[in-house]
Every structure is written in structure tokens, then in C-alpha cells.
Amino acid sequence: MSELNAESTAFRAALDVVRDVDPRIADAIAKELHDQRESLKLIASENYASPAVLLAMGNWLSDKYAEGTIGRRFYAGCQNVDTVESIAVEHAKALFDAPYAYVQPHSGIDANLVAYWAILADRVEVPYLKKFEKRQINDLTDAEWAELRAAFGNQRMLGMSLDAGGHLTHGFRPNISGKMFDQRSYGVDAATGQIDYAALRETAKEFKPAVIVGGYSAYPRKVNFATMREIADEVGATFMVDMAHFAGLVAGKVFTGDFNPIPHAHIVTTTTHKSLRGPRGGAVFAQPELADQVDRGCPMVLGGPLAHVMAAKAIAFAEARRPEFAGYAQRIVDNSQALATGLLNRGATLVSGGTDNHLVLVDVDKYGLTGRQAEQALLDSGIVTNRNSIPQDPNGAWYTSGIRVGTPALTSRGLGTAEMDQIADLMHTVLSSTKPGASKAKFDLDPAIADRVSKQANEMLGAFPLYPSVDLGI
Ligand code: DSN
């Protein structure tokens, strides 16, 4: 028998150790790899992290509490966590050419909360309440907190509307940001489906927000962050960008100049697991004047940092600094555009008519379907997508009228533009063969068609093995 490579040996050994305690967990982990290998994954926010990223997470760094910041912890014995966090920060700053990075957030929501707190704390300290100027915000009494909350006064946020592609954490009620802030939305131009910067400027002038949030989770176009910063400056707002979805495109230098948020925003948040291909987690980048406030993220907003995940973030940032990552980032967009072209050629309607980034938003109302019906019909045919609102969505946020598809994961797997055209064909076949049913969730799709598409999708995937270096031997 030939010798196993390092990745197979490592994952097999890890599963054996886990199996000794509860085989069901080892089986579920192994089955997840099997299921991912079989799945045509078009979820725009998912990806496949490298074996090095995955392996960096399974170790005793997980056992250490390290609240605080590098070299200034609330616990003793954090020297190795300091090393790991320092290296992650070093790679993050170099990767994004950012003056400051904070790599502790556990998720994108956490990163946004850290940023919101930092923005509010920064804005209140000097301009609003002279008497608190010299105080640490953490040392205030309850009475002073009450006074401070009243003094914050302008807690207005201007963010992208949900149906235009904004995210719940950009000031919407199901998220705490919708309670912290009085939110107003900017949207897209009805004709172009693209951000209407003139309307955004007018809304900003009238609403006078403390914070303008750029970024999205379902907008298929580039955003001009230079213009948004100009607008923020005109109204005295802090400009924050949530680049969770497109961080990999910034890291890979596909989004540069006016479209790179780092030089234009006061503060930028991200997740690390989407187009960036890292572990699940978040990070914050900021201009130096906000750094002290961001550093208070833990324990102000976050629980103890996950040192094992910070180790994996360091590996992911290091991988993204390699020259080949730029090629990967460009292929994500090439694939997305090929998928868009393939769908358009077959008669689909796309929000904004195409894409500049990693995602495509299909208007399935044009197929006579709700997003819910389309999502399930595609899933039944072996194609994993998610339903999403589209601008002025007639079906609301639950059923929706859109399907969001993204290419970061399949690009990691090695699929290219020819396969994207085939996928467009498979998607169009399913969507045009599906008939709406008695409710917004029910539909009718000939099982023979679903079966045929599923087999074709699987055949295509067979040529692009996922984690080819990992053989679990089962
Ligand atoms: N869940 C992510 C997405 O799918 O866009 C954002 O939170």
C-alpha cells in the first residue's frame, strides 16, 4: 500500500480520536465531506477552506482564555495567543494594506457590533460630552451611562435596503443594530438596478446620519466607495463598509481604487470564510483614530477570542497573500460573469442585468415562480442556491422573487467558465420546467427532469474532485 499523504493521515487520525468518544460525531464530520463533494454549491457566502486552515483550528489554543488585546490580557499565560494574534494581524494588515486590523470577532455580526460600538464611542467622546473626555468609557457609572445614551443623540444609520441587497446587521429590526440605530435605507435605481448615488446623497443630506454603511450580501455590482466617502464627509457621518462578501476580491486586487473600501472608509468589517476562503470568523480594519475603540471589542461586545480560529485566520491571510490568490479572485468574477451570460443567453432576467462581482441575482418572478419554489426545485435537482429578495420584491422577504447564486466555492473547486455555461443551462432547464403550485411554496417539477439534471451536475463535479488531497478511506 502506498504511503498516505500528510492531509489524509491528519484527518483520518483526527476522526479516529473523535470516533473513540462518540462515533456519531466522527461519522457526521466524514459525511459532511461526502455531502459537500456531491453538492453543486452555489451559495454566494460559502467556500471551501484549505486543509491547512481547517487543521490549524483543531488544537489546544482552544483551551486558553485571552480576553483583552495583544500584550494586555485579563488572563495570565497568553504568550502563545499573543504570538498567534500578532501574526494574524501582521498578515491581515499586509494583505489589505490597512493601518490597523482586529482579528478577534467570531463572526460578521460580531465584527459589525464591534464597529458600531467603536463608531458611537468615538463620536461621543469629544464632540458631545466634554466631561467624559478624559474618562475610560468602561469606567462610567450607571447614571453616567444614562446621560451618555441621551447624549449620543444622533444614532441615525443610513444603510442599503434589504431588498436591494443590504444585510440585517445594517440597521434592521431583527438585529440589535435596528434597535441601536434609527435606520433609513438607500436603494437602487429602478431602471438600472444599481445604486443611485444622487438619491443616496439627497437622503444623507436630509437624514443626517451618524453612520453610513456601505457593503451588501446580495448586490451584484461594484460599489464606488470613494463617492460614498465624499457623501459621508458632506454630512459629517462616519463611513463604514461591511466587505464580508467581497473581501476575497479586495484581497485579490480585483476591486481596486474607488472600489476598494480600505482607503476610503473610516472602518471596514468582514467575515473571513466567504470569498476569502478562511475559517468562519470576522475581522475589523480601521483608520488609526478608531483603533483604541475597536481594541475594546473584547470584552465590550465579544466573548474571549478564539485563539485556535485566529490561528486559522493567520493561515488564510497568509494563503491570500500568495500571488496565486489574485488569479483565484479574478476567476471568481470571470465565472460569475460567465454564469450571468449563460443565463441571459437562455432568456433569464438578472437584477441589474449582470454582475461585476462573485454573485448573480436571478429574478425568478419572470419564470412565474417565487424564490422559495425556485430554491427547492433547484435543490431537488442537485443545485444548491438560496432564495433572496430582489428590489421592490412582490413576494416579501420570506418567499422572495429571487435566487442568489455565487461562484467562490465552485471556483475553489476548479470549475471554470465552460462549466458555468453548463450550470446556466441546468438552472434554466429546471426553472423553465417548474410550474407554480397552490401556494407560494408549492410547485410542480417532473421528477425525471430533476433526476436528469442532478445526474448531469454530478457528472460535471466528478471531473473536479473536492479536497483531492484528502482520502478518508471510507
Ligand atoms: N449569511 C450570510 C449570507 O449568506 O450572505 C450573511 O450573513
Supply the CATH number for residue 438's domain. 3.90.1150.10
Closest residue to atom 3 of ligand 1, CA basis: 45
Cβ neighbours of 241 (radius 10 Å): 28
Q: What is the pLDDT of residue 126?
A: 42
Q: What is the pLDDT of residue 428?
A: 98
Task: Tell me, using a 6 A CB cutoff, whether residue 108 lines ligand 1.
Answer: yes
Q: How far apart are CA 207 and CA 186, in angstroms?
A: 11
Instruction: Give yes or no: residues 124 and 249 share one domain.
Output: yes
Q: What is the pLDDT of residue 180?
A: 78
Which has more pLDDT, 126 or 390? 390
Instruction: Give yes or no: residues 130 and 205 share one domain.
Output: yes
Q: Is the pLDDT of residue 223 over 80?
A: yes
Instruction: Using the 3D structure, point to which of 289, 320, 351 is the last residue of a domain.
Output: 320
Task: Tell me, using a 6 A CB cutoff, whether residue 388 lines ligand 1.
Answer: no
State in Å: Cα 71 to ligand 1 middle: 33
List the grid coordinates of 310: 485566529
Instruction: Give yes or no: residues 251 and 156 share one domain.
Output: yes
Q: What is the pLDDT of residue 1?
A: 47
Instruction: Give yes or no: residues 78 and 97 share one domain.
Output: yes
Q: Per-residue confidence at 181, pLDDT binned at 50, 70, 90?
A: confident
Helices (H), 266-393: 288-295, 297-300, 307-320, 324-345, 371-380
Q: How far apart are CA 162 and CA 338, in angstroms?
A: 26
Contacts by 70-78 with C-beta closer than 8 Å and gap 24+? 74/299
Supply the CATH number for residue 276's domain. 3.40.640.10
Active-site amino acid positions = 65, 67, 242, 271, 274, 280
Which has more pLDDT, 92 or 135? 92
In a domain, 40, yes or no: no
Q: What is the pLDDT of residue 97?
A: 98
Summarised one tens digit per residue, pLDDT across range 411-459 is 999 999 999 999 999 999 999 999 999 999 999 999 999 999 999 999 9
In a domain, 49, yes or no: no
Q: Beta 211-215 vs 238-242: how paired, if at all?
A: parallel
CA distances from 55 to 49, 58, 106 (A): 10, 6, 18
Mean of the per-residue pLDDT values of the chain: 94
Instruction: Give yes or no: residues 237 and 373 share one domain.
Output: no
State in Å: Cα 72 to ligand 1 middle: 33
Summarised one tens digit per residue, pLDDT across range 124-144 is 644 445 566 566 666 777 777
Q: Locate cell 466587505: which residue?
A: 243
Summarised one tens digit per residue, pLDDT across range 251-261 is 999 999 999 99
Instruction: Give yes or no: residues 149 and 216 share one domain.
Output: yes
Instruction: Give yes or no: residues 336 and 252 share one domain.
Output: no
In a domain, 26, yes or no: no
Q: Over range 369-381, report the average pLDDT.
A: 98
Q: How far apart are CA 372 and CA 162, in angstroms?
A: 17
Which has more pLDDT, 172 or 67? 67
Instruction: Give yes or no: residues 129 and 206 share one domain.
Output: yes
Q: Is the pLDDT of residue 341 over 60?
A: yes
Q: What percent of the chain has pLDDT over 70?
A: 94
Please count the CA atoms within 13 angstroms of the CA of 353 that sit on its side-chain side. Answer: 7
In a domain, 210, yes or no: yes
In a domain, 24, yes or no: no
In a domain, 404, yes or no: yes
Q: What is the pLDDT of residue 174?
A: 82
Instruction: Using the 3D structure, point to which of 271, 305, 320 is the last residue of a domain.
Output: 320
Q: What is the pLDDT of residue 297?
A: 95
Q: What is the pLDDT of residue 134?
A: 60
Strand partners for 195: 188
Task: Tell me, using a 6 A CB cutoff, whether residue 45 lines ligand 1.
Answer: yes
Instruction: Using the 3D structure, point to which of 320, 338, 358 is the last residue of a domain.
Output: 320
Q: Per-residue confidence at 151, pLDDT binned at 50, 70, 90?
A: low
Q: Is the separation of the CB atoms in 343 and 360 below 8 Å?
A: yes
Hey, which of 172, 217, 405 would you mutate to test ligand 1's pocket, going by the most ligand atoms within 8 Å of its Cβ? 217
Q: What percent of the chain has pLDDT over 90?
A: 88
State in Å: Cα 100 to ligand 1 middle: 25
In a domain, 53, yes or no: no
Q: Per-residue confidence at 121, pLDDT binned at 50, 70, 90?
A: confident
Instruction: Give yes or no: residues 295 and 328 share one domain.
Output: no
Summarised one tens digit per residue, pLDDT across range 289-318 is 999 999 999 998 999 999 999 999 999 999
Instruction: Give yes or no: residues 148 and 233 share one domain.
Output: yes
List the grid coordinates of 392: 421592490
Instruction: Give yes or no: residues 377 and 271 share one domain.
Output: no
Give the residue from 18, 107, 111 showing the smallest Cα distance to 58: 18
The boundaries of the domain holding residue 133 are 60-320
Binding-site members for (6S)-5,6,7,8-tetrahydrofolate are 162, 166-168
Q: Over range 196-220, report the average pLDDT.
A: 97
In a domain, 136, yes or no: yes
Summarised one tens digit per residue, pLDDT across range 6-29 is 999 999 999 999 999 999 999 999
Instruction: Give yes or no: residues 381 and 246 share one domain.
Output: no
**Total count of domains within the chain:** 2
State in Å: Cα 45 to ligand 1 middle: 6
Q: Per-residue confidence at 175, pLDDT binned at 50, 70, 90?
A: confident
Per residue, what are the HEC states of the chain? Answer: CCCCCHHHHHHHHHHHHHHHHCHHHHHHHHHHHHHHHHCEECCCCCCCCCHHHHHHCCCHHHHCCCCEECCEECCCCCHHHHHHHHHHHHHHHHHHCCCCEECCCCCHHHHHHHHHHHHHHHHHHHHHCHHHCCCCHHHCCHHHHHHHHHHHCCCEEEEECHHHCCCCCCCCCCCCHHHHCEEEEECECCCCCCECHHHHHHHHHHHCCCEEEEECCCCCCCCCHHHHHHHHHHHCCEEEEECCCCHHHHHCCCCCHHHCCCCCCCEEEEECCCCCCCCCCEEEEECHHHHHHHHCHHHHCCCCCCHHHHHHHHHHHHHHCCCHHHHHHHHHHHHHHHHHHHHHHCCCCEHHHCCCCCEEEEEHHHHCCCHHHHHHHHHHCCEECEEECCCCCCCHHHHCCEEEEECHHHHHHCCCHHHHHHHHHHHHHHHHHCEECCCCCCEECCHHHHHHHHHHHHHHHHCCCCCCCCCCCC
